[in-house]
Amino acid sequence: MVQIQSMTFGYGKGPLFEGLDLKLEPGTVFGLLGLNGAGKTSLLKLLAGALRPQSGSIRVFGAEPWRREAFFLADTAFVPEDPWLPAVKPSVWLERYAVFRPAFDKGQFASLSREFALDEGKLLTKYSYGQRKKFALAAALASGARLVLLDEPTNGLDIPSKSQFRRALAAAVDADRVVVVSTHQVRDLERVIDPAVIVHGGKILFSLDSDQISEKLGSAQVRDLGPDVIYAEKDGVGYSALIARSGVEGARTEAQTADLELLFNAAIASPSRLAAALRGERLPPFDPSEAASRERNVEEAAK
């Protein structure tokens, strides 16, 4: 289990996180969602022990990551957005590096390498960005580590590789393993991550599991912005809308599964409306011009 309590961290211009609390139970893939600069990568590095919190505590299966003890490092796999690999072939990498992970599954790694079509005869430094990413992802998923941290894992992957990775990630879920995926490519992974943890303004805005989302929220293509609309974006034929399934008279029965990208945008632009909808409260009419103004303010603040 991962437990963050009253954690504060920053880089000198004020805290990036202040009093952050977060609990991650094994057995699922947590999607860490947030705008650029929200601190997603920093949070992964704090969990991996590459950064130390200024106050508060982080515990990963009982260990403090910043101490970087050998047993913790062997039990943690972190794939950054642009992974570094040594100038060796995959077989040499296995001999020199996999030995530091007692639970490393060479059979699983070989299977993932074949699925990802990795070239076993080429130096890892000669791999393309996408190939390096796939090699690092295969190594992390086969590592046997109980904490797996993936930063923007679908960046650099082509469409077939993204499908392969989704299958591999779903298969890697284990009752004893915590997997955290940081991404802004929400639609690449929306069928895999559960719950979605939305980070904004130095805190956790929402942590929503699939049951909450399916019970309370939906998506629909609409022409009118009725009282069940939480958030909407104009498109060529009307609006793509995030819909409240309950607490509203006349809620649309045609609503489909909630679109995670719409949900994320609603959380950032209209958090109070989303929170009210999740509580089952009646919403005031949705004003797209007001929402657009809030989105511009959010974008400016993020720069």
For residue range 62-114, list pLDDT tens digits in order. 999 999 999 999 999 999 999 999 999 999 999 999 999 999 999 999 999 99
pLDDT digits (tens, 9 = 90+) for 128-137: 999 999 999 9
Share of the chain above pLDDT 70, in %: 92
Can you give the pLDDT at residue 48?
97
Mean pLDDT of the 106-123 span: 95
Share of the chain above pLDDT 90, in %: 71
Contact call for residues 222 and 239 (beta carbons, < 8 A): yes
Mean pLDDT of the 186-203 span: 90
From the list 144, 147, 141, the residue with the least C-alpha distance to 3 is 147
pLDDT digits (tens, 9 = 90+) for 266-284: 999 989 999 999 998 888 8
Place 42 in a pLDDT band, splitting at 50, 70 and 90. very high
pLDDT at 124 over 80: yes
- Is pTM beyond 0.85? Reply is yes
Can you give the pLDDT at residue 255?
72
pLDDT digits (tens, 9 = 90+) for 218-267: 998 888 888 889 999 988 888 999 998 865 555 566 678 888 999 999 99
Q: Which residue has the tokens 């505590």?
A: 57
Strands annotated E in 91-136: none
Mean pLDDT of the 158-176 span: 93
CATH topology of domain 2-208: Rossmann fold (3.40.50)
Where are the chain's structural domains?
2-208, 216-302
CA distances from residue 203 to 9, 58, 129, 186, 277 in whole angstroms, order as listed: 11, 15, 32, 19, 20
pLDDT at 297 over 90: no
pLDDT digits (tens, 9 = 90+) for 204-214: 999 999 898 98
Can you give the pLDDT at residue 238?
87
69, 70, 75, 76: CA torsion to nearest 10? 60
